[in-house]
Chains A and B, each alone.
Chain A
């Protein structure tokens, strides 16, 4: 059997403050396995650790402990410039954070693949006017159908953002309070009280409406 596409094996990231006495300021933990090609929606409040999670998944930010395996390969053991051959992070350029490269690339392994297996879309700009959304969503499906894992992070601020998530994502990750929870479907996501409080009353109402089969207009 093929290795799962993405495994976060007891991954912990601890950010600390102070040089002598290190006091943890933030800890993110994740333990999950995404075995099959899928489209995974990621939601969670700002500061919950989404960016850190994505950086660990795509190999730019090394976990304090634990391993990130992409199709069985520890991505943090791969040559820096080849990590995006396993998992690629599409982000806004201003969001790019750089990290120290402790081990010279020469001592690291080459990537076993040439085309990325995990595609991580970090809050892509969706705009109802230009019509690109439809192409983008079809593209996510195409990647999935070709055997890739698509991770789509969104910050829903309009009902149609929720439409997109409900339409496209096969499963979800909810990131909050330093933890990552895998959720089976949109209904279960919306039922989670932490998610409801993150969404706020208006978005929660819209999400409930989607669960009850209502269709939104684009206006």
Chain B
């Protein structure tokens, strides 16, 4: 079964068509890359998947259940987690607290962040696990703002992972990372691959072509091409370009 599916998603902002018609079906455990030029509609599409933008037409299904137009927190509760292109961490809080504050059961339990963060070990254990998964096991006590850029990006993923999502949406996870940061992220994704359904917008083609099971190319608010990295590289113009190098 498809874990996440979008059918004929159409979004307009006033007079402007932002997504003409986007279809996507991602199987359980698949790592699906989304690429496309700037302004193609990739982030808007993510916003539709995660409930931040309600489509004018079309549907989003999570494991067969229609979640179109639900609020972001209801969609998150159903199991779609995301990281953002721009980081959204609480700078003054420790890495562990950041993860903990992302836990749905934590948020449901109390709004008194300080008390809750100091207390419940069950949440802490779960959060530590997520930190360990992204290689931040020994950095839980460090304030988010004191972490390196690469660690902050990893922390963002940990925040998403702690929610035990069924689908993880990553918006440009490699942006701003140096080459060793990208390698570390690639290793992390490789570990998560198969266990988690991942949809990732990414500009780093080498990253995407080496990791993705399939890739959708979005342009002009539509999927203009889709296939395995190998299939996409068969195109003659692609061979002539930098993309051809990753064959």
Q: Are B37 and A125 touching (Cβ within 8 A)?
A: yes
Q: Which residues of A contact B243 (CB under 8 A)?
A: 130-131
A131 touches B237 (CB 8 A): yes
Complex A-B: 11 CB contacts under 8 Å: A115-B21, A128-B241, A130-B242, A130-B243, A131-B235, A131-B237, A131-B243, A131-B244, A132-B217, A136-B219, A138-B225
The contact string, 1 if C-beta is below 8 Å from chain A, for chain B 234-246, is 0111101111100
B37 and A130 form a contact (CB under 8 A) = yes
Taking CB atoms, residues of chain A closer than 8 Å to B242 are 129-131
- Chain B residue nearest to A93 (CB atoms) is B39
Report whether B17 and A84 are in contact in the complex, using a CB–CB cutoff of 8 Å: yes
Q: Which of B29-72 contact A (CB under 8 A)?
A: 36-37, 39
- Report, nearest first, the 5 A-B pairs whose CB atoms are least far apart: A134-B237, A131-B241, A131-B243, A134-B235, A139-B224
Contacts of B220 in A (CB 8 A): 90, 121
With A and B bound together, what is the CA distance between A116 and B220 in angstroms? 13
Most buried by B among A88, A93, A131, A133: A131
- Interface size bracket, B side: 20 to 34
Give the shortest distance, in Å, between A152 (CB) and chain B (any CB). 12
> Which B residues form the contact surface with A (CB < 8 A)?
12, 15, 17, 20-21, 36-37, 39, 205, 217, 219-220, 222, 224-225, 232, 235-238, 240-244
Q: Are B238 and A134 in contact (CB under 8 A)?
A: yes
A132 touching B240, Cβ below 8 Å: no
Taken together as a complex, chains A and B put the C-alpha atoms of A43 and B196 apart, in Å, by 49
Tell me whether B241 and A133 are in contact (CB under 8 A): yes
Q: How close is B21's CB to chain A, nearest CB, in angstroms?
A: 7
* Interfacial chain A residues near B36, Cβ < 8 Å: 132
Interface of B, secondary structure class, is mixed
Instruction: Choose among A93, A125, A129 the residue that contacts B241 (Cβ–Cβ < 8 A).
Output: A129
List 11 additional A-B contacts (Cβ < 8 Å) besides A88-B20, A132-B217, A133-B241: A81-B15, A90-B220, A128-B241, A130-B37, A130-B205, A131-B235, A131-B242, A131-B243, A133-B237, A135-B235, A135-B238
Smallest Cβ-Cβ distance to B245: which chain A residue = A131
Partner of B219, one of A116, A131, A135: A135
CB-CB under 8 A from A125, the residues of chain B are 37
A135 and B217 in contact, given A125-B37, A218-B240 (Cβ under 8 angstroms): yes
List the A side residues contacting B244 at CB < 8 Å: 131
For chain A residues 96-141, which have a beta carbon within 8 Å of chain B? 115-116, 121, 125, 128-139
The chain A residue with its CB closest to the CB of B237 is A134
User: Are A138 and B15 CB-contacts (below 8 A) given A90-B220, A130-B37, A131-B244?
Assistant: no
CA distance A80 to B14 in the complex (A): 11
Contacting residues, chain B, for A218 (C-beta < 8 A): 240
Residue of chain A at shortest CB distance from B226: A135
CB contact under 8 A between A139 and B219, given known A84-B17, A132-B37: yes
Q: How far is the CA of A134 from the CA of B238 in the complex (A)?
A: 6
Task: Please give, as numbers and ranges, the residues of chain A lying within 8 Å of B39 by CB-CB distance.
Answer: 93
Q: Which residues of B contact A84 (CB under 8 A)?
A: 17
CA distance A131 to B21 in the complex (A): 22
Give the chain A neighbours of B37 by CB distance below 8 A: 125, 130, 132
Say yes or no: A136 contacts B224, CB within 8 Å.
Answer: yes
A136 to B37, CA, bound (A): 11
